[in-house]
């Protein structure tokens, strides 16, 4: 029996998308392929509120995280760490032998503008990395607040991980001044995992021209050269591109603003339920509209809840493993997460919560 997924990724994928993935194959150096790639450009720009190029890679979003580091850091990068995936970006910088420094706050808390301002004012950095929506903790950093500070430093390359927020929350790339905005397919875009997208500003391209050791697979200048020809420099996942084409059409039919409002409603419903029954782990005022991280203050056997929910056809999961291990060591309530992103509806989230209530009551 298929379990409908309410986990932080991969998310539930609709039948029409899965069917699009089985579209007969074409050659990636044909006119048909160029038409497919060319079609994707405008709706991706609309989704990201940008006039910048939006590159597509056969990878997870982590690929573009590394690409940003390799292409746009020559001096030192400031990594804003408030959870597992922002920490990973800092680890990537170290792995790429780049100088980096970390702003670190407790998991569950958000990165604040004054923290960023204090660091950038030193003049030590040429890039900054921010994870918009920290999937491990359900914290959504406020890009508008951070933008006001980062704009004070026009030479800084601003990179933003929007893996679990793009297509669920409005991210006005051009207005915010984001140079690299990256995301994966398997979160709010509601596609199978396997491709990633990233908007690249002219400033980021210019920076890349000055950086040696950009690598090959994620060399922005090589990708740009192919992008302008509706191509990629290597063999892409064509099946994913067919699915992306259909999904972008679906998003435009729903209307982007309506999609954001639906995510907001699903989040508000989940947060109300969490506050009525447990406690939110994420900081008030910075809670995500795509995934809620909840404290298990009642000490219920969540493994048992997960098992029983599986029998009812729902796929749920506990909190991020390393976070829960730390909380357990400290004697604090563990967490669990409920994802409300992609093509899920408010009614489906309500059905999920009602069933969790029923399972807990019967324990």
Say whether pLDDT at 310 is over 90.
yes
Confidence at residue 176, expressed as pLDDT on a 0 to 100 scale: 98
- Tell me the C-alpha distance between 225 and 133, whole Å: 31
Q: What is the DSSP letter of 177?
A: T
CB 65 within 8 A of CB 182: yes
Report the 10 Å Cβ neighbour count for 115: 17
- Tell me the C-alpha distance between 18 and 195, whole Å: 15
The predicted model gives 280-284 an average pLDDT of 98
Q: Dihedral of CA 186/192/195/198: which sign?
A: negative
Structure-block tokens of residue 228? 């302008």
The predicted model gives 280-288 an average pLDDT of 98
CB 141 within 8 A of CB 290: no
Confidence at residue 17, expressed as pLDDT on a 0 to 100 scale: 98
Say whether pLDDT at 327 is over 90.
yes
Say whether pLDDT at 1 is over 90.
no
Pairing of strands 180-184, 157-161: parallel
- Tell me the C-alpha distance between 117 and 222, whole Å: 33
User: Which CATH class, in words, describes the domain spanning 16-253?
Assistant: alpha beta
Say whether pLDDT at 140 is over 90.
yes
Extents of the domains making up the chain: 4-9+256-361, 16-253
Q: Angle, to 10 degrees, between the axis of helix 143-150 and the axis of helix 113-120?
A: 20
Task: Tell me the residue length of the chain.
Answer: 363
pLDDT in tens, 187-233: 999 999 999 999 999 999 999 999 999 999 999 999 999 999 999 99
The predicted model gives 234-244 an average pLDDT of 97
Q: Name the helix (H) or strand (E) containing 102.
A: strand 100-104
Structure-block tokens of residue 288? 């995500």
pLDDT in tens, 27-83: 999 999 999 999 999 999 999 999 999 999 999 999 999 999 999 999 999 999 999
Confidence at residue 191, expressed as pLDDT on a 0 to 100 scale: 98
Percentage of the chain lying above the pLDDT 90 cut: 99
pLDDT grade, residue 307 (50/70/90)? very high
Same fold, 4-9+256-361 and 16-253: no
pLDDT in tens, 4-25: 999 999 999 999 999 999 999 9
pLDDT grade, residue 339 (50/70/90)? very high
Confidence at residue 52, expressed as pLDDT on a 0 to 100 scale: 98
Closest by CA position to 12, among listed 188, 181, 240: 188
Pairing of strands 279-280, 317-318: unpaired
- Tell me the C-alpha distance between 262 and 342, whole Å: 10
In CATH, the number for domain 4-9+256-361 is 3.90.1150.10
Closest by CA position to 341, among listed 150, 168, 155: 168
- Tell me the C-alpha distance between 261 and 268, whole Å: 10
């Amino acid at each position: 029996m298929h379990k409908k997924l309410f986990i932080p990724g991969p998310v539930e994928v609709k039948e029409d998308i899965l069917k699009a993935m089985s579209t007969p194959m074409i050659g990636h150096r044909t006119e048909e392929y160029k038409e497919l790639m060319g079609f994707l450009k405008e709706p991706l720009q609309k989704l990201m509120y940008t006039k910048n190029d939006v590159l597509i890679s056969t990878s997870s979003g982590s690929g573009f995280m590394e690409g940003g580091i390799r292409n746009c850091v020559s001096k030192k990068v400031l990594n804003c760490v408030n959870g597992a995936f922002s920490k990973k970006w800092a680890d990537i910088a170290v792995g790429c032998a780049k100088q980096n420094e970390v702003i670190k706050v407790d998991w569950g808390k958000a990165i604040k503008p004054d923290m960023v301002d204090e660091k950038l004012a030193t003049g030590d950095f040429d890039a900054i990395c921010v994870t918009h929506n920290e999937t491990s903790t359900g914290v959504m950093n406020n890009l508008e607040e951070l933008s006001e500070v980062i704009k004070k430093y026009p030479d800084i390359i601003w990179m933003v991980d929007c893996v679990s927020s793009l297509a669920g929350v409005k991210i006005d790339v051009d207005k915010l001044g984001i140079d690299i905005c990256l995301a994966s397919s398997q979160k709010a875009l509601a596609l199978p995992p396997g491709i990633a997208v990233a908007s690249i500003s002219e400033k980021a391209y210019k920076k890349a021209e000055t950086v040696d050791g950009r690598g090959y697979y994620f060399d922005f200048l090589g990708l740009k050269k192919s992008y302008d020809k509706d191509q990629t420099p290597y063999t892409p996942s064509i099946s994913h591109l067919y699915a992306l084409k259909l999904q972008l059409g679906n998003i435009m039919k729903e209307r982007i603003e309506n999609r954001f409002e639906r995510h907001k409603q699903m989040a508000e419903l989940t947060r109300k339920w969490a506050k009525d029954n447990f406690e939110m782990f994420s900081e008030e005022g910075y809670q995500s509209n795509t995934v809620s991280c909840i404290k298990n203050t009642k000490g219920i056997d969540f493994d048992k809840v997960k098992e029983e929910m599986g029998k009812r056809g729902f796929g749920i999961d506990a909190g991020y493993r390393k976070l829960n291990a730390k909380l357990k060591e400290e004697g604090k309530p563990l967490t669990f997460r409920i994802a409300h992103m992609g093509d899920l509806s408010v009614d489906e989230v309500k059905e999920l919560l009602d069933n969790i209530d029923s399972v807990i009551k019967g324990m």
